[in-house]
Amino acid sequence: MKYPKIPLAQTVIQLCKTKELKHIVISPGSRNAPLTIGFSNDAYFNCYSIVDERCAAFFALGIAQKLKKPVAVVCTSGSALLNYYPAVAEAFYSDIPLIVLSADRPKHLIGIGDGQTINQRYVFENHILFSANLKLDLKDEMNIPGHEELPIFKNLEDKFERFLGLQKDIQTYNEEGINTAINTAISKKGPVHINIPFDEPLYELVDKISVSPRNIDSTVKPSKIEDYVLQSALEDWNSASKKMILVGVLGPSEFEKKWLDELAEDDSVIVLTETTSNLHHSNFFPSIDQLIAPLTDEEQKALSPDILVTFGGLIVSKKIKQLLRKHKPKHHWHIDEKAANDTFFCLNNHFEIAPNIFFETFLPRITHYVKSRYKETWLALKQYRLKRHKAYVNNIPFSDFKVFSEILKSVPEHYILQSGNSSAIRYMQLFKVKKDIEVYCNRGTSGIDGSTSTAIGCAVASEKPVLFITGDLSFFYDSNAFWNNYIPSHFRVIVVNNQGGGIFRILPGQKNTENFDTYFETSHSLTAEHICNMYGLNYESVSNETDLAKALNLFYTSSNSPKVLEVFTPRTLNDKILLEYFEFIR
């Protein structure tokens, strides 16, 4: 087996292996050659070559999102690193362990006009959990540019003794930085950056490793709730007749079902979930906007909770944010090991603990169940809304709304569902998703920029087939996502093409003007067909309900290559149908 000659490259690769980082996504370059050589020559690693760094980072994020394990991305120096930033930000806000390994020029070549060189240290400063800026290995030379601090030696023996001492100090420093970075990504669930300077020559190989880096285990203190804090919370809980639990993004099976069952039995408790929560119970309340959008202000006030408990990732529904910000609960508790967002401007308790541990500690100590009609009232509202929803869907023309209704009914139960952002995830929130379907969406930053790449990464990491539902702008924006050789044949994409940013048509502002069409909706006449032809994807398009039903009937059958179904909907009708929906279900 061949290894890169550079000790620093050997150190990075060995520590990644020791800490069980199996998936390495590499973008081609020269400065990162020592890492590329080392990772790709070691059979332990699953290496992927993806040219576009933005796509590569989201591809890696999709793997990490699915496996809940750290994944590394490797790039050359210069602007290549900056293309990772959207995925780094998403990983930061979505608690996904993404490890950025960036090759860099030596210190003495930075800021002097050398090619493909930028200031890479702390480049992700506002959206990173830890940055390790490693040091260049010393060379067996007296005068090393960038190391002018080396002393004048009296003799050759003294020179090498001091030289080896300095190299040992640098090796220790680098090992500590790498260990801390990877441990942080794993324990705190988020992105880290390891910046790695290499000097030429970059391509030299050796048959044996010259360093044995020390593995430093991560130390995580077990979290617990102080008894007096728990007791105070229990007193408030036991006296409140209206308690709302609002759940954001959760991975499948992340929250234990026994706590769900117990919460669902309490008449004073309602549990609001989103499509991205991956929680299902007959007494829970999905489709939040469907429930509350038609409410009058008086009705909202009557249904607002005394205690709001939140856990999971970020919330999609704008309607619930508006309701809880206007009619603030007396208490807002957030349960999360890392951070608590004061989303509703009334946060007064942050339980720094995993939700499962919190409810395991909290629920058995509840001594009093308050008589309440809170859940009963919400359940009656839910049944009424569902009845009106069904009546509306049965009578509307072909549109975005109709398309999402038909698509979500068609998805086989063994599928994973990846959603694009903007209109896609918001429409999805209005419909039932089968309980055995896993749902993912990049809700950390809610951007459209890497949704396709993330879905493909998820598909690569999953034994189950993946369906990605997206809008046209998101699809075209991330079309380089298909520029790789790893897309499984069972990957499926549905592009809902309404010829522009249809979500802007439901927002306030003047519509159907040249200014609106150009700068907000960005109307277009593009189609996915040519992209599919270029990348060898099976392509089909439909533009009416009958053809959609026929296409969906065969869409999930096995094939030799991934499939893309493009559904064209009427650009100027979709917003009218969506807005009238909330009036109808009132």
For residues 30-39, give the mean pLDDT: 97
Chosen domain end from 380, 409, 430: 380
Summarised one tens digit per residue, pLDDT across range 56-113 is: 999 999 999 999 999 999 999 999 999 999 999 999 999 999 999 999 999 888 888 8
CATH number of residue 297's parent domain = 3.40.50.1220
- Count how many residues are written for the chain: 586
- Confidence (pLDDT) at 283: 94
pLDDT on residue 154: 47
Residues of the chain with pLDDT > 90: what percent?
83
Verify that 58 and 14 share a domain, yes or no. Answer: yes
Domain assignment present for residue 188? The answer is yes
- Taking CA atoms, 299 is separated from 155, 303, 321, 325, in Å, by 88, 6, 16, 15
Q: At which residue do the structure tokens 């117990």 appear?
A: 262
Q: Shortest CA distance to 101 belongs to which of 74, 128, 123?
A: 74
The 10s digit of each residue's pLDDT in 449-500 is 999 999 999 999 999 999 999 999 999 999 999 999 999 999 999 999 998 8
* Amino acid 560: pLDDT: 96
What's residue 146's pLDDT?
47
pLDDT of residue 218: 85
pLDDT at 312: 96
Instruction: Say yes or no: 339 and 413 in one domain.
Output: no
Q: Are 72 and 146 part of one and the same domain? A: yes
Q: Determine the Cα–Cα distance for residues 114 and 104; give it in Å rounded to an integer.
A: 12
- Verify that 502 and 426 share a domain, yes or no: yes
Q: Looking at the 3D structure of the chain, how many domains does it have?
A: 3
Whether 161 has a pLDDT exceeding 60, the answer reads: no
Query: Are the C-beta atoms of 106 and 61 separated by less than 8 Å?
Result: no
Domain limits at 348? 227-380
113, part of any domain? yes
Residue 176 inside a domain? The answer is yes
Query: Rounded to whole angstroms, how far apart are CA atoms 432 and 73?
Result: 36
Taking CA atoms, 401 is separated from 160, 396, 404, 472, in Å, by 74, 8, 5, 15
The average pLDDT across 522-541 equals 94
How far is residue 170 CA from its own chain's centroid? 35
Pair 410, 369 in one domain: no
- pLDDT at residue 157 tops 80: no
* Domain end position, chosen among 353, 380, 407: 380
Enclosing H/E stretch for 568: strand 563-568
Bigger pLDDT: 137 vs 195:
195
In a domain, 390, yes or no: no
Rounded Cα distance between 537 and 346, Å, is 49
Tell whether pTM > 0.75.
Answer: yes
Shared domain check, 171 and 239 = no
Is 539 inside a domain boundary? yes
* Same domain (yes/no): 405, 305: no
- Report how far apart, in Å, the C-alpha atoms of 234 and of each of 374, 442, 567 are: 19, 35, 51
Each residue of 318-377: pLDDT tens digit? 999 999 999 999 999 999 999 999 999 999 999 999 999 999 999 999 987 889 999 999
Report whether pLDDT(197) > 70: yes
Residue 444 shares a structural domain with residue 510: yes
Residues 400, 372 share a domain: no
pLDDT(300) > 60 = yes
- Predicted confidence (pLDDT) per residue in 435-444, tens digit: 999 999 999 9
Residue 160's pLDDT band (boundaries 50, 70, 90)?
very low
Query: Which residue type is seen at 580?
Result: E
pLDDT value at 140 more than 70: no
Q: What is the pLDDT of residue 509?
A: 67
Cα distance from N-terminal residue to C-terminal residue, the chain: 69
481 falls within a domain: yes
What mean pLDDT is predicted for residues 218-226? 82
Return the pLDDT at 166. Answer: 78
Give residue 143's pLDDT: 43
pLDDT band at 508 (very low <50, low <70, confident <90, very high): low
> Residue 188: pLDDT above 90?
yes
What's the CA gap between 442 and 92, in Å, rounded?
11
Q: What is the pLDDT of residue 221?
A: 79
Q: Whole-angstrom Cα distance, residue 502 to residue 283?
A: 33
pLDDT reading at 156 higher than 60: no
Q: Which of 206, 238, 261 is the last residue of a domain?
A: 206
Instruction: Assign residue 573 the CATH number of its domain.
Output: 3.40.50.970
Query: Are residues 89 and 50 part of one domain?
Result: yes
- Residue 431 pLDDT more than 50? yes
Mean pLDDT score of the chain, rounded to an integer?
92
User: Is residue 34 domain-resident?
Assistant: yes
pLDDT of residue 522: 82
List all residues 6 or more positions away from 513 whose beta carbon is below 8 Å from its beta carbon: none
- My answer on whether 434 and 486 are in the same domain is yes
Residue 189: how many CB atoms within 10 A of its CB? 18
* pLDDT tops 70 at residue 142: no
Residue 273 has pLDDT above 80, yes or no: yes
Structure confidence at residue 155 (pLDDT): 46
Measured CA to CA, the distance from residue 488 to residue 366 in angstroms comes to 49
Flag whether pLDDT at 158 surpasses 70.
no
Residues 162 and 235 in one domain: no
User: How much is the pLDDT for 528?
Assistant: 97
Residue 388, domain member (yes or no)? no
Angle between helices 400-410 and 545-555 in degrees, nearest 10: 30
* Cα–Cα distance list, 534 to 449, 466, 483, 531, 537 (Å): 20, 21, 9, 5, 8
Q: Which long-range contacts (CB under 8 A, 24 or more apart) does 382-390 make?
A: 382/285, 382/291, 385/287, 385/290, 385/291, 385/294, 385/585, 388/584, 388/585, 388/586, 389/287, 389/290, 389/430, 389/585
